[in-house]
Amino acid sequence: MQALTRPYGALHCRVDGRSDAPTVIFANSLGTDLRLWDPVLPLLPDTLRYIRYDKQGHGLSTLGGGTDISDHADDAIALIEALADRPVVFVGLSIGGLIAQTVASRRPDLVRAVVLSNTAARLGTVESWQARIDAIAGHGLDHIADAVMERWFAPAFRAKPELALWRNMLTRTPAAGYIAACRALSKADQTAATAALRLPALAIAGDTDGASPAELVEATAALIPGAAFHIIPGTGHLPCVENPAAYAAILSPFLRAHAHD
């Protein structure tokens, strides 16, 4: 268990792999913590160093402002500067993908390649995020949990006993942290900045994703010249959980090609 000290408190992170290896950083989705990557990490190349962290207001991380995507980008930049000795491959899922796009745009010196998983340059609308904020403020995260599970996972996974664990992860997220991230998402629009990116990029989608449909992910990939795009059949918003083997089969060659100097 490690922590990076930030102006608002502690940013919880975990580092796996050799200290001298090229680094890959992961940013997870709304309502999850760094355990999101547990199923896929053992399947990735063992020649790399992997950094995971809890967004502020999630998991074991303190909530600072967190109401603007730049707040989350500042955290990721600080983490890269503190723990990586060279540019990283940035893997971001959902809001994590927006963080990845923001960091790559603001600090291209820190990011050698991006993986945009189940994300877009713009997710949802001001109205849809405000409706979710109102529901949580009035009734708590449990009120929206079943609907979120339908967006996160395909029917086959929702029939498994471990669905309850992911539902628990969501409902045990601090409501204030979740709402702050919703506010950040309601304002975030990286369309112009992402269209200006010139770096290796890989986009991954699930064919039953109810939060970031595959066509939305593909449209974001199309903003970056040369970006690759893959759909993982039978998965929703968290394909790294539902089918980690398929996810690793797509991600690993990209990491081997772009993580090393």
pLDDT single digits (tens) 184-207? 999 999 999 999 999 999 999 999
Contacts of residue 195, Cβ cutoff 8 Å, sequence gap at least 6? 121, 223, 224
DSSP assignment string, 26-71: EE--TT--GGGGTTTGGGS-TTSEEEEEPPTTSTTPPP---SSHHH
pTM of the predicted model as reported, rounded to 2 decimal places: 0.97
pLDDT > 90: what percent of the chain? 98
Q: Residue 244: pLDDT above 90?
A: yes
Q: Residue 169: pLDDT above 80?
A: yes
- Pairing type for strands 23-27 and 2-6 reads unpaired
pLDDT at 1: 82
pLDDT at 2: 96
Please state, rounded to an integer, the average pLDDT across all residues of the chain: 97
Q: Residue 261: pLDDT above 90?
A: no
- Reported as a single tens digit per residue, the pLDDT across 8-57 is 999 999 999 988 999 999 999 999 999 999 999 999 999 999 999 999 99
pLDDT at 178: 98
Q: Residue 175: pLDDT above 80?
A: yes
- Reported as a single tens digit per residue, the pLDDT across 89-136 is 999 999 999 999 999 999 999 999 999 999 999 999 999 999 999 999
Q: Residue 247: pLDDT above 90?
A: yes
pLDDT band for position 260 (cuts 50, 70, 90) = confident
Q: How far is CA 26 from CA 16, 52, 67, 132, 145, in A?
A: 12, 5, 20, 25, 24
Closest CA to 102 of 189, 232, 210, 24: 189
